[in-house]
Structure 1
């Protein structure tokens, strides 16, 4: 009997890993801005694509306008490329694309695994799957995730991984943005996907240099906004060096550098 059960489990695992999985996430960028992110998994290869199109915010039931602040350049999709690792690795290699001040980048990132704590008694159903709650710290942000063991992939949207199942909901704790919530799961997706896309025309850059370039560009924008504000007797302060993403603190930084 035990052998039969083992064979069934192996058969189920073999089916999943031979098929292409597609998960569509609603991605909440701010309290009034959303887009979509598509995650594809096949044969231990993982590709996540963040759409640049701003859509109706289904979580707050309001519409928003996308504002392009990159010198009039049309927003582009971002790609996050990685591989599954069955050895429960402490770090995972990611390659991702981005654009800053009209420069297209290809960035290498070694992402540390969050120190996850599972809460087996906290269950919710997402996209038809029974999901278990987990909490952890991801680059300075407290995060809450729900994952399903029914899809045995240690993966999720963006750069999230490290749980014993696919992450279908993940968010920064106590915030109404930095949220990814699965709306669709297809376990036999037929989309043609290049899991190792070529980015030969993009400029290669280290993660540290990319972060510095991105924040310098945003500070220029904040300065322009401050200059454009009406001159009054009231002092208006525009805070620079803000990180509005879930990545609040990187591995090379200490506490004094991020305050």
Structure 2
């Protein structure tokens, strides 16, 4: 009898994990910019695709517009590719662009030391979710995950909880928010989970961060130069990080 129950459990698990999951998140990048992010999971493979569009911000009930600082070019989609594992660090490969240069970056992301609050729950996209808190690269964050969806994954580079993360946000900020709008547990989209980015320049995470911040500092310098000349000598502060990643491992 026990063998039969175990066999049934294994069969159900095999069917469940062989299905393709698709979660669509509303992503709030700033107080005036929103976009969507689509997470796909199949056979322990994950790929998350960030888009940039003009949409209605359902979190603030106001219209917002994507902003692009890359020489007026149309915003590009960004890809975050990984595999689900129980390792203390998880390998991520992601794409980005800085000053018209397209990059393919490797990032080893440490697992967050999550503190789960079992008595704190809410329903997101039809799933009961449990609250968890942690620190991700220098930022205090709060997440809600669904045990009913047994995937240690989430949007962007978030993972490490015993269930799929359907809501995650930086504490005390009005942006850096990901909230699931829909969950499809039997998605039929044709997804390439290990795309080849042969046309992009390979670069380390550390060099990418340096290039990105140097480019942003140039933009801040231009803004400062165009400010009205007053006795206050107004200046835009450089080296600011406006993302959830505030402190990297080599900066410890």
Gaps of 5+ in 2: none
The equivalent of 1:58 in structure 2 is 58
State how far apart, in whole Å, the 2-side matches of 1:233 and 1:56 are.
Answer: 40
Residues 155, 162 of structure 1: 8 Å contact kept: yes
State how far apart, in whole Å, the 2-side matches of 1:231 and 1:173 are.
Answer: 36
TM-score between both structures, scaled by the size of structure 2: 0.96
State how far apart, in whole Å, the 1-side matches of 2:26 and 2:8 are.
Answer: 34
The equivalent of 1:93 in structure 2 is 91
Shift of 1:242: 0.6
State how far apart, in whole Å, the 2-side matches of 1:100 and 1:19 are.
Answer: 36
State how far apart, in whole Å, the 1-side matches of 2:239 and 2:166 are.
Answer: 31
State how far apart, in whole Å, the 1-side matches of 2:186 and 2:140 are.
Answer: 33
Instruction: Give the alignment's Cα RMSD to 1 decimal.
Output: 1.4
Total equivalences in the alignment: 252
Query: Are residues 5 and 239 of structure 1, via their aligned partners in 2, closer, same or farther at CA, if it must alter by over 3 Å?
Result: farther
State how far apart, in whole Å, the 2-side matches of 1:176 and 1:12 are.
Answer: 41
Per-residue Cα deviation, 1:91-140 (whole angstroms, up to 9, x for no partner): 00000000000000000000000001111111111101111111111100
The equivalent of 2:127 in structure 1 is 129
Residues 217, 238 of structure 2: 8 Å contact kept: yes
Q: Any residues of structure 2 matched to 1:1-259 within 5 Å, and which?
A: 6-85=6-85, 88-254=86-252
Shift of 1:234: 2.7
TM-score between both structures, scaled by the size of structure 1: 0.93
Gaps of 5+ in 1: 255-259
State how far apart, in whole Å, the 1-side matches of 2:62 and 2:230 are.
Answer: 32
Query: Are residues 179 and 5 of structure 1, via their aligned partners in 2, closer, same or farther at CA, if it must alter by over 3 Å?
Result: farther
Per-residue Cα deviation, 1:60-105 (whole angstroms, up to 9, x for no partner): 11223333211122210000000011xx210000000000000000
